[in-house]
């Protein structure tokens, strides 16, 4: 009897990371892949990317509609509540042996809550990371405490998960699975990309992804105006924006980006959904990646491209030498872009090493999911550090 593994995906970002693992599970005769799709995947506003999942050859087992057309804190909280209800129904119908979730988004928190109450073992990817500028930080650590198996992306993250009271025998550092796809992707060249997406690249190209900074005190209009002012200092650059996540103020940011792009639509364009192959191809074509997305710190360096990382959204996250950090003001952003474009900095890119592994994570995670004794996961005692154990009477 095959082991039924249920993978949950709620956005283009986590799907791109999970896709390789899903292929590994799908090809293993001892495992059965079931797939629950939720969040932005089911929204036309965000490109209805469930279609891309099906085009990749995956069968969607269950759809959890939970995303309200609101990016206020109240709307996001209500979406979490709807998600818990939907995931409760999904897991009751699917009856999986194990649930696989990734990251720190609010729809994944809903999935974790429903799986925990259903007493289903949870395998969590990318725990133990730190992003001090976003509410995702708290969500990520909360999911860690609900999970039973942990697949982290680097050694400091493994230690941090153990520090949270998780058994070291259940915490595995295989690296970031998002890097696996980079080694396997057949990239689009510039002409293919332009034809497929109708996007024109010039002699200088910027790829920009800017998400809401959910713990910021400044308004989205203030922070984006600083970015726009910096980009205006490069009038020769063709700029491709990808849309923000469906977080608090995400729609506000998206509207501001549309307004900015409309002022010079020949040179500035906005993509709703490029897909993994399209996004990685855009990174390879662009001269610099700009914004505050985790991809700029994890996947982009593996493609030997510079990242200008803006503000505090990714503060605390591990980063390599290809990442240039700057504050959310136009002067520093422009300075960072110029540094990224300089011959001196670009000369260092080819030899730079990623701190997120060697691109073999998906196979190793799949093997662990196939072999782990699930009966040992039914109870989850808090794992005390030696200092705490030594202090007990």
Cβ neighbour number for residue 37 with a 10 Å cutoff = 24
- Cβ atoms of residues 31 and 1 within 8 Å: no
Give the range among 155-159, 231-235, 374-378 with minimum mean pLDDT.
374-378
Q: How far is CA 176 from CA 89, 157, 356, in A?
A: 31, 11, 5
What does the pLDDT read at residue 167?
Answer: 95
What does the pLDDT read at residue 212?
Answer: 80
Percent with pLDDT over 90 in the chain: 73
What does the pLDDT read at residue 49?
Answer: 87
* Averaged pLDDT for residues 73-88: 95
- Cβ atoms of residues 148 and 380 within 8 Å: yes
What does the pLDDT read at residue 95?
Answer: 98
* Averaged pLDDT for residues 169-182: 94
d(CA 126, CA 144): 9
What does the pLDDT read at residue 14?
Answer: 92
pLDDT of residue 288 exceeding 90: yes
pLDDT of residue 214 exceeding 80: no
pLDDT of residue 203 exceeding 90: yes
pLDDT tens profile 94-145: 999 999 999 999 999 999 999 999 999 999 999 999 988 778 899 999 999 9
pLDDT tens profile 236-247: 999 999 988 777
- Cβ atoms of residues 116 and 138 within 8 Å: no
Cβ neighbour number for residue 371 with a 10 Å cutoff = 9
Local confidence band at 216 (pLDDT 50, 70, 90 cut-offs): low
pLDDT tens profile 362-381: 999 999 999 999 998 878 88
Give the range among 245-259, 264-278, 284-298, 323-337 with minimum mean pLDDT.
245-259
What 3-state class would DSSP assign to 271? strand
What does the pLDDT read at residue 215?
Answer: 67
Contacts of 343 (CB under 8 A, 6+ apart): none
Domains of the chain: 3-174+360-391 (3.40.50.2000), 188-346 (3.40.50.2000)
If one compares 299 and 249, the residue with the highest pLDDT of the two is 299
pLDDT of residue 391 exceeding 70: no
Q: What average pLDDT does the structure give for the chain?
A: 92
pLDDT of residue 390 exceeding 70: no
pLDDT of residue 386 exceeding 80: no
């Amino acid at each position: 009897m095959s082991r039924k593994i249920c993978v949950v995906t709620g956005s283009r970002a986590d799907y791109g990371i999970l896709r390789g693992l899903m292929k590994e599970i799908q090809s293993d005769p001892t495992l059965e892949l079931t797939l629950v799709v939720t969040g932005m995947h089911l929204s036309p506003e965000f490109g209805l990317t469930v279609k891309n999942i099906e085009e990749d050859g995956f069968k969607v087992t269950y759809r959890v509609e939970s995303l309200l057309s609101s990016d206020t804190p109240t709307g996001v909280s209500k979406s979490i509540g709807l998600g818990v209800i939907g995931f409760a129904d999904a897991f009751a119908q699917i009856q999986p042996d194990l649930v696989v979730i990734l990251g720190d988004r609010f729809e994944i928190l809903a999935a974790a809550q429903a799986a925990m109450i259903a007493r289903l073992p949870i395998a969590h990817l990318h725990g133990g990371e730190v992003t001090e500028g976003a509410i995702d930080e708290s969500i990520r650590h909360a999911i860690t405490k609900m999970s039973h198996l942990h697949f982290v992306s680097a050694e400091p993250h493994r230690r941090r998960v153990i520090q949270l009271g998780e058994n070291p025998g259940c915490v595995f550092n295989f690296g970031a699975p998002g890097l696996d796809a980079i080694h396997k992707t057949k990239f689009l060249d510039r002409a293919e990309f332009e034809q497929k997406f109708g996007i024109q690249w010039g002699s200088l190209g910027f790829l920009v992804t800017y998400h809401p900074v959910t713990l910021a005190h400044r308004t989205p209009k203030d922070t984006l105006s600083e970015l726009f002012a910096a980009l205006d200092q490069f009038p020769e650059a063709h700029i491709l924006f990808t849309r923000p996540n469906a977080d608090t103020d995400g729609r506000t940011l998206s509207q501001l980006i549309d307004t900015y792009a409309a002022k010079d639509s020949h040179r500035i364009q906005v993509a709703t959904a490029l897909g993994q192959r399209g996004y990685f191809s855009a990174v390879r074509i662009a001269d610099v990646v700009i914004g505050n997305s985790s991809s700029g710190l994890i996947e982009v360096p593996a493609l030997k491209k510079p990242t200008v990382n803006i503000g505090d959204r990714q503060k605390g996250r591990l980063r390599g030498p290809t990442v240039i950090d700057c504050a959310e003001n136009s002067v520093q952003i422009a300075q960072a872009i110029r540094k990224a474009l300089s011959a001196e900095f670009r000369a260092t890119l080819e030899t730079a090493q990623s701190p997120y592994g060697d691109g073999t994570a998906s196979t190793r995670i799949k093997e662990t999911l196939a072999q782990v004794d699930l009966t040992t996961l039914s109870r989850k005692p808090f794992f005390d550090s030696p200092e705490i154990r030594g202090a007990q009477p």
